[in-house]
Amino acid sequence: MRLRLIGRSDFRLQRANSESTPSSLVPYPVSAILPPQETPVAASLSQFASSLSVETAFTVLAVAKSLKAAGKDVVELEIGDSPFNSTASAKQAGIQAIEQNQSHYCASPGIPEARQAAADFVKSEFGIPAGPENVVMGPGAKVFEQFFCEAFLNPGDSVLVFSPYFPTYVPNILRRNANIVYSALKQSNEFRPSLDDIERFLGEADSPKAIFLNSPHNPTGGVTTEEDLQNLADLIRGKDIAVFSDEPYCHMIWKGKHHSLLAQPGMMDQAVAAYTFSKSYSMSGWRLGFAISSKETTDAISKMINTTPVVQLAGAAALRNDSAERDDVMLKFREKVVLLTEGLNRIEGFHTIDPTATFYVFPNVAAVCNQLGITSHGLALYLLEGADDNFGIACLGGECFGEAGQGFLRFSCAEPNDRLQQALDFIPVALSRTGRIAAYLEAHPKFRLQKPYTLEG
């Protein structure tokens, strides 16, 4: 701002009246002297940042917490967090690491102990031929979605995404100005990926470059079988195609065992597998995961990441020592999934497949939604907000995971069994309160179903 001198023009000589002193020197108001106040202008966000949205699970979580704070009893089945404590060795090693001041910078790929433990783990459990050079540690598994996209995608590339899908896949892909091709997962096919759709993508998409594969699958609980993985590997082997193999629920398999694409010949060079400690070891708050890939890929990702050594030491201890405790917790999760699945299938208009994997149950509720004239996410929020003044259930509509999820609900099993039973007992009561449903739709017209859902089968 330039300074301005005050001159004669800034003052005027005024005769007050005939009886007053001969003259008075009256200044202009201060506002006329000083420059006008400028309105603060904030730097504008990028189009990418402006387009970001949070996972709907966390939005519903915030609503549920607010209702609980106001005194409402809410069974929280919306968030995919473990209700169990972190495993014993993890806690002990974390405390020891703090006491030993293991809180300084470390190498970007991770500390040697953690990388070796992760390599030994995937080799012994899933037959992946990994060494420590094939491991990069990270703050959870979700970040590797972004780093995979940064490592492999150029503008204009096409990416195959199976829908329903984990919500953060899409913004990470779009951030690289890549194109998304969707393939719908069907309940009639146990939510397994379609080999025909993969072949069509490879043959017809513009610049096909990557595939996002999530197995065991969130939100459906579906599993990509070993045969599916063999067929996928045969289709892409030797082509310039990269696969993001998202495997956070690798121990939540209720039929058979988990298989990884990276165990197939040649796939280490064409895939990145992501793992987390949040599910198997109940370490969601620690923020720790790792990725497995070729050395060239892990070296590239390492340039974008760094993870605190304290949590890495805790994770390494969990991998080495806590498999028995982990497996015991997995059995408890399976019990919850069976309880919820059987209970939901007894409700008229609800249909879910037998428990296969994960701690989610994904019932088809299209018939109920069609009858009531409400969207599936509208139904989910009605169960939380509108069905009763004192009691509610927090869950998610399937459309929160993409268009192919319409007509479904996703329930997490992260509550005690008696609370799961409370939720199951309440749902039929809530559905019978047609007056409340009508009132909820009147207050929230965006949840009116404009077109009936297609009924599978």
Same domain for 108 and 244, yes or no, is yes
Say yes or no: 71 and 123 in one domain. Answer: no
Q: Rounded CA gap, 313 and 344, in Å?
A: 41
Residue from 364, 351, 374, 363 nearest 430 by CA: 374
- Are both 269 and 408 inside the same structural domain? no
Dig out the tokens for 181 from the structure.
Answer: 């091709």
CA dihedral sign of residues 225, 201, 276, 360 = negative
Structural domain total, the chain: 2
Could you tell me if 94 and 234 lie in one domain? yes
The residue among 322, 356, 382 that closes a domain is: 322
Of the residues 322, 337, 365, the one at which a domain ends: 322
Cβ(364)–Cβ(43) below 8 Å: no
Residues 309 and 384 in one domain: no
What's the confidence (pLDDT) of residue 27?
53
276 plus 378 within the same structural domain: no
| Single-letter residue type at 142 | K
Last residue of a domain, one of 322, 346, 375: 322
Residue 215 is predicted with a pLDDT of: 97
- The pLDDT of residue 457 is 53
The pTM of the full predicted model, rounded to 2 decimals, is: 0.88
Structural domain for 114, as ranges: 88-322
Does residue 133 belong to any structural domain of this protein?
yes
Under DSSP, is residue 81 helix (H, G, I), strand (E, B) or coil?
Answer: coil
CATH classification at residue 251:
3.40.640.10
Question: Smallest Cα–Cα separation from 410: which of 57, 63, 72, 161?
Answer: 57
Q: Are both 246 and 309 inside the same structural domain?
A: yes
Residue 314, in any domain of the structure: yes
**Are residue 334 and residue 381 in the same domain, yes or no?**
yes
The separation between CA 376 and the C-alpha centre of its own chain, rounded to angstroms, equals 19
Res 24: pLDDT: 46
Look at residue 24 and tell me if it is in a domain: no
Q: What is the pLDDT along the chain (457 residues), one digit of tens a residue?
A: 333 333 444 434 344 444 444 444 555 555 555 666 667 778 988 887 777 766 777 888 889 899 999 999 999 999 888 889 999 999 999 999 999 999 999 999 999 999 999 999 999 999 999 999 999 999 999 999 999 999 999 999 999 999 999 999 999 999 999 999 999 999 999 999 999 999 999 999 999 999 999 999 999 999 999 999 999 999 999 999 999 999 999 999 998 899 999 999 999 999 999 999 999 999 999 999 999 999 999 999 999 999 999 999 999 999 999 999 999 999 999 999 999 999 999 999 999 998 899 999 999 999 999 999 999 999 999 999 999 999 999 999 999 999 999 999 999 998 999 999 999 999 999 999 999 999 999 999 999 999 999 987 5
Return the DSSP state at 281: S
Beta strand pairing call for 409-412 and 360-361: antiparallel
- Output DSSP code: residue 264: S
Going from the C-alpha of 250 to that of each of 50, 219, 234, 444, 448, the distances in angstroms are 34, 14, 23, 39, 38
Judgement on whether residues 381 and 434 belong to the same structural domain of the protein: yes
Helix, strand, coil percentages, rounded to 5, for the chain: 45, 15, 40
Shared domain for 62 and 161, answered yes or no, is no
Could you tell me if residue 14 is inside a domain? no
Question: What's residue 33's pLDDT?
Answer: 59
The burial of 64, by beta-carbon neighbours within 10 Å (0-12 exposed, 13-18 middle, 19 or more buried), is given as: buried
Q: Is 382 a member of any domain? A: yes
Helix (H, G, I), strand (E, B) or coil at 408: strand
Domain annotation covers residue 177 = yes
